[in-house]
C-alpha cells in the first residue's frame, strides 16, 4: 500500500470516527450534558469533575447536540406565536410584544377575548408592588381585567371616563374595581362620561372631588393599559359617540386611529386636539411619561390603527394577534423605535 492509499484509508477511518461515538464517549457525553443542561453546572465545574479541560467539555456538548444526543426545544404555549412576537418587537422597537394566534372563526373580529387573557398574564409580570396601574376604557382592557388572577399590591386608577355612564358597572369602572380587588390596593374609578358636549362641561367635571382625586394619580402612573380604535363604526368608541358632522370633520384631518379619546393620523401625529378638551381622559404628555404603556388591540381591521398609534411613541408594549401582526410587519416604512418617546409633533 503506497502513501497515498494509506492517507485515503486514514481519512476514511477518521471520517468513520467522526461519525460515531463509542459507548464510553456516549456515556460521558450524556453525563456532561445532564450536568450542564439539567443541573445547571458550569463548564469549568464539569471539567473539574471529569478531569478534562473546559474546552473538551465545550466540544463534547457541541458534539452531543450535533449527534442528537441532546435535543433542545423552545416551546411556548400553543396560542403564542414567538417568532412573530420577536419580529414585531424588533420592527417597532417595543419593550415587549406578545402575538396571540387569531381565532380561526373570528379573524375579522377586533380584539378577540383571548388578547385580554394574555394581557392579564403580562400585567402580572410587569406590575410591581407599590406601582400605580392606570386602566383606560376599552373592550380589551375590560376583558383583561376580568381575566386577572394575580397582581402585587398596587393602586389602580381609571384613565378615562366611560363610554356610557349607564354601563359603568359592566365597563371600565368595574375593571378598575376588579384589578384593585385582585391586587388588594386602592381603586380610583371615574364616574363620568368620556365625551362631553363642550369644553366648559368637561372642565367643570374635572374639578369634581372624586374625578379630581383620580386625576391627581395620572402623573404617578407607572404602568398603563390602553386600547386602540380604528376610525370606523363599531371599532372606535369615540367615533360612535360623535355626530355625523363631527366624524366628517375629523376624517378630513386624516385621523386613522384613536386611543383614550386622542386622535392620530397614519404617521402617528396627533390631530383634532380640540376633541381631547371635551373628554375626561389622561393627557398624551402624561402617557408619554409613563414608564410602561401596554396597548391591547388585534384583528386585521385594526392593523392600520395599531400601526399609527405605535408610531406616536406613546406605547412601549403591545399585545396583539397574528392577523394584526401580519399587517404590521409589512406596513409602510420602517417606524422609529417606540422607545424613542419624544413627541413627533414637538413640544
Read off the pLDDT of each residue in 68-90 and give the average, rounded to a whole number. Answer: 79
| Domain 80-330: CATH architecture, name and number where available | 3-Layer(aba) Sandwich (3.40)
Name the residue with higher pLDDT: 138 or 122.
122
Helices (H), 20-157: 23-33, 43-50, 54-66, 82-92, 113-126, 139-147
Read off the pLDDT of each residue in 115-120 and give the average, rounded to a whole number. Answer: 90
Read off the pLDDT of each residue in 319-332 and give the average, rounded to a whole number. Answer: 90
Read off the pLDDT of each residue in 73-87 and give the average, rounded to a whole number. Answer: 76
Q: pLDDT band at 158, cuts 50/70/90?
A: very high
Read off the pLDDT of each residue in 15-22 and give the average, rounded to a whole number. Answer: 51
* Residue 94 confidence (pLDDT): 94
Cα 30 from Cα 21, distance rounded (Å)? 11
- Secondary structure in 3-state letters for 107-131: CCCCCCHHHHHHHHHHHHHHCCCCC
| Domain topology for 23-67 | Arc Repressor Mutant, subunit A (1.10.10)
Burial of residue 316 (CB within 10 Å: 0-12, 13-18, 19+) is buried
Q: pLDDT band at 120, cuts 50/70/90?
A: very high
* Residue 246 confidence (pLDDT): 87
Read off the pLDDT of each residue in 314-340 and give the average, rounded to a whole number. Answer: 85
139 contacts 121 by C-beta, under 8 angstroms? no
* Residue 293 confidence (pLDDT): 97
| Domain ranges for the chain | 23-67, 80-330
* Residue 140 confidence (pLDDT): 86
Cα 286 from Cα 273, distance rounded (Å)? 15
Q: Which of 9-23, 61-75, 169-183 has the lowest mean pLDDT?
A: 9-23
* Residue 25 confidence (pLDDT): 80
Considering 14-28, 224-238, 267-281, 328-342, the range whose residues carry the highest mean pLDDT is 267-281
* Cβ partners under 8 Å of residue 107, min gap 6: 299, 300, 323
Cα 140 from Cα 252, distance rounded (Å)? 28
> pTM (2 decimals)?
0.75
* Residue 237 confidence (pLDDT): 76
Amino acid at each position: 500500500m503506497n502513501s497515498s492509499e494509506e492517507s485515503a484509508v486514514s481519512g476514511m477511518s477518521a471520517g468513520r470516527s467522526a461519525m460515531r461515538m463509542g459507548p464510553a464517549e456516549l456515556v460521558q457525553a450524556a453525563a456532561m450534558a445532564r450536568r450542564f443542561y439539567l443541573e445547571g453546572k458550569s463548564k469549568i465545574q464539569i471539567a473539574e469533575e471529569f478531569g478534562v479541560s473546559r474546552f473538551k467539555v465545550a466540544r463534547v456538548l457541541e458534539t452531543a447536540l450535533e449527534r442528537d444526543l441532546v435535543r433542545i426545544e423552545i416551546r411556548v404555549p400553543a396560542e403564542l406565536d414567538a417568532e412573530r412576537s420577536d419580529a414585531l418587537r424588533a420592527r417597532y422597537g417595543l419593550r415587549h410584544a406578545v402575538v396571540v394566534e387569531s381565532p380561526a372563526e373570528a379573524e375579522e373580529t377586533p380584539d378577540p377575548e383571548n388578547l385580554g387573557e394574555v394581557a392579564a398574564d403580562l400585567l402580572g409580570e410587569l406590575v410591581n408592588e407599590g406601582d400605580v396601574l392606570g386602566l383606560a376604557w376599552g373592550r380589551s382592557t375590560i376583558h383583561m381585567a376580568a381575566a386577572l388572577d394575580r397582581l402585587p399590591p398596587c393602586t389602580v386608577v381609571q384613565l378615562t371616563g366611560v363610554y356610557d355612564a349607564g354601563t359603568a358597572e359592566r365597563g371600565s369602572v368595574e375593571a378598575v374595581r376588579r384589578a384593585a380587588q385582585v391586587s388588594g390596593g386602592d381603586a380610583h374609578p371615574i364616574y363620568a362620561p368620556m365625551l362631553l358636549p363642550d369644553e366648559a362641561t368637561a372642565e367643570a367635571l374635572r374639578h369634581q372631588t372624586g374625578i379630581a382625586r383620580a386625576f391627581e394619580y395620572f402623573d404617578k402612573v407607572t404602568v398603563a393599559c390602553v386600547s386602540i380604535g380604528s376610525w370606523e363604526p363599531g371599532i372606535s368608541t369615540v367615533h360612535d359617540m360623535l355626530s355625523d358632522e363631527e366624524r366628517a370633520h375629523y376624517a378630513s384631518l386624516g385621523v386613522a386611529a384613536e386611543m383614550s379619546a386622542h386622535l392620530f393620523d397614519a404617521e402617528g401625529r396627533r390631530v383634532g386636539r380640540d376633541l381631547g378638551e371635551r373628554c375626561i381622559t389622561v393627557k398624551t404628555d402624561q402617557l408619554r411619561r409613563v414608564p410602561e404603556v401596554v396597548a391591547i388591540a388585534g384583528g386585521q381591521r385594526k392593523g392600520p390603527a395599531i400601526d399609527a398609534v405605535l408610531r406616536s411613541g406613546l406605547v412601549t408594549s403591545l399585545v396583539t394577534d397574528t392577523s394584526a401582526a401580519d399587517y404590521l410587519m409589512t406596513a409602510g416604512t420602517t417606524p422609529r423605535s417606540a422607545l424613542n418617546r419624544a413627541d413627533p409633533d414637538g413640544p
